[in-house]
């Protein structure tokens, strides 16, 4: 409630400015740097919604629908990928729905981690060229490591005297020939977000753009997400929430990459991560964690990498979390989910009201600004954020003796200075 009230209080000056402009019969949104582009995109969305209604009334295919002004800008893509859903956006927390709006489909896989969590992995595909896997193929299975490559399988002798009870699965030959196989790309989201972050911007969404550029797109989610599941533990069990960024990198990311490689038949994949997703990747690849994971990644694109602490953690409320002891942190925020009230509001508040409130709260906490967003899609973003996270994972980011105090995800400041001195001495010796 302190955070909500703080965000409301800091919004008061902006509210009066908006009211003042309305009284002068001016549009406050006209001050936005991309206002004209936002208007153009909003008009196209309206025209596409009208076109969809006409198609439904006439019971014709999407590509045969009459065009209206502004629709020509997307007509070629619509012909290649006719939309499977349309009309006015109802704002739903469903990645598949937004994929269908741009002519794609999504199937969901259940992936089991080494410590028993069941996490969601979503596969984006073109329904006109591919078919979904069966429910049994998409169900979760006990984790048994990375699949063997074709060369590794050939080198393994059937008569070998060494046996193992947890032999990694062999990659199945892909039924498609080399000219039609699509290279797999796994996308990982940031803190308090989900895979939907890559899917809310229509055809300009990164996930859909990659899928239409002939990549095999997979969307990863971390443990708990929107539906916490575990093979043994219930959500009321504190052990269900005893995890932080290390488990998310070493176990969640490894399980997701292993499943994608097993399903696609490729020995490596491309990895695209945003913010916290980059953190868990760097942690997983670190010495003493799971550096062998790097052998399964052909390219790692780190978007807004969260590695070093910036001025954001100097805010008063973040300083407070860093000052209090771990015991006091757990007394205030519990040992289960972090501020579950957020998820309650996500479930019951109207989508547009929740989107407006969610933006103000996140802007207050993290210095967000929507000046480079498409304002007409802002409410969609908050359909997929926040998600369930553990209080312990937030303590890893903000608590004492953790990231906020060390200023780095892998080492303390003292260790960094020591490494810098050693590098300087080594440089002097070489000279």
Backbone angles phi, psi at 272, to 5 degrees: -120, 120
How many CA atoms are closer than 13 Å to the CA of 356, on its beta-carbon side? 7
- The pLDDT assigned to 400 comes to 84
Q: What is the DSSP letter of 291?
A: G
Distances (CA, A) of 129 to 105, 167, 172, 194, 370: 11, 33, 20, 27, 37
- Order of strands, sheet of 105-112, starting from the edge strand that comes earlier in the sequence: 105-112, 118-125, 215-220, 183-188, 269-274, 297-303
For every residue of 175-206, which 3-state class applies, written as one string? CCCCCCCCEEEEEECCCCCCHHHHCCCHHHCH
pLDDT tens for 71-129 read: 444 455 666 788 899 998 999 999 999 999 999 999 999 999 999 999 999 999 999 88
pLDDT tens for 133-192 read: 999 999 988 876 766 554 454 444 444 333 334 445 444 444 433 346 899 999 999 999
Distances (CA, A) of 232 to 135, 140, 241, 396: 22, 14, 13, 25
pLDDT tens for 332-388 read: 999 999 989 889 989 899 999 999 988 998 888 888 889 989 999 999 999 999 999
Backbone angles phi, psi at 109, to 5 degrees: -105, 145
Please tell me whether residue 326 adopts helix, strand or coil conformation: helix
- The pLDDT assigned to 144 comes to 64
Please tell me whether residue 134 adopts helix, strand or coil conformation: coil
List the domains of the chain with CATH numbers. 90-145+180-430 (3.40.50.1820)
Number of other CB atoms surrounding residue 216 within 10 Å: 22
Per DSSP, what are the bridge partners of residue 122? Answer: 108, 219
């Amino acid at each position: 409630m302190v955070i909500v009230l703080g965000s409301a209080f800091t919004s008061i000056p902006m509210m009066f400015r908006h009211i003042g402009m309305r009284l002068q019969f001016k549009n406050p949104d006209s001050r936005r740097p991309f206002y004209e582009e936002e208007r153009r995109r909003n008009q196209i969305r309206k025209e596409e919604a009208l076109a969809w209604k006409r198609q439904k009334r006439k019971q014709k295919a999407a590509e045969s629908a009459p065009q209206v002004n502004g629709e020509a800008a997307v007509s070629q893509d619509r012909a290649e990928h006719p939309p499977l859903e349309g009309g006015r956006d109802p704002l739903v927390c469903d990645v598949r729905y937004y994929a269908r709006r741009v002519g794609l489909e999504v199937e969901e896989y259940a992936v089991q981690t080494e410590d028993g969590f069941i996490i969601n992995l979503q596969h984006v595909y073109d329904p006109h060229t591919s078919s979904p896997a069966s429910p049994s193929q998409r169900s979760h299975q006990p984790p048994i490591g990375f699949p063997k490559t074709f060369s590794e399988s050939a080198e393994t002798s059937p008569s070998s005297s060494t046996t193992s009870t947890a032999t990694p699965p062999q990659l199945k030959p892909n039924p498609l020939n080399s000219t039609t196989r699509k290279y797999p790309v796994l996308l990982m989201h940031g803190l308090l977000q989900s895979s939907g972050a890559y899917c809310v911007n229509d055809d300009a969404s990164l996930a859909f753009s990659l899928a239409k550029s002939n990549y095999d797109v997979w969307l990863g989610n971390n443990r708990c997400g929107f539906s916490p599941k575990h093979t043994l533990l219930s959500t009321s069990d504190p052990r269900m929430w005893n995890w932080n960024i290390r488990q998310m990198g070493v176990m969640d990311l490894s399980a997701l990459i292993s499943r994608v490689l097993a399903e696609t038949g490729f020995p490596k994949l491309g990895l695209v991560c945003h913010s916290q997703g980059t953190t868990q990747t760097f942690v997983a690849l670190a010495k003493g964690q799971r550096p062998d994971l790097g052998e399964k990644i052909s390219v790692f694109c780190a978007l807004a990498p969260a590695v070093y602490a910036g001025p954001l953690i100097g805010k008063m409320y973040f300083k407070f979390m860093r000052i209090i002891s771990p015991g006091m942190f757990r007394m205030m925020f519990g040992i289960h989910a972090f501020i579950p009230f957020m998820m309650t509001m996500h479930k019951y508040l109207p989508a547009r009201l929740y989107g407006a409130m969610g933006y103000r709260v996140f802007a207050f906490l993290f210095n967000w600004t929507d000046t480079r967003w498409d304002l007409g899609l802002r409410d969609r973003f908050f359909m997929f954020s926040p998600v369930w996270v553990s209080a312990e994972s937030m303590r890893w980011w903000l608590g004492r003796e953790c990231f906020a105090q060390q200023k780095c995800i892998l080492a303390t400041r003292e260790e960094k200075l020591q490494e810098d001195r050693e590098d300087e001495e080594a440089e002097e010796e070489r000279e």
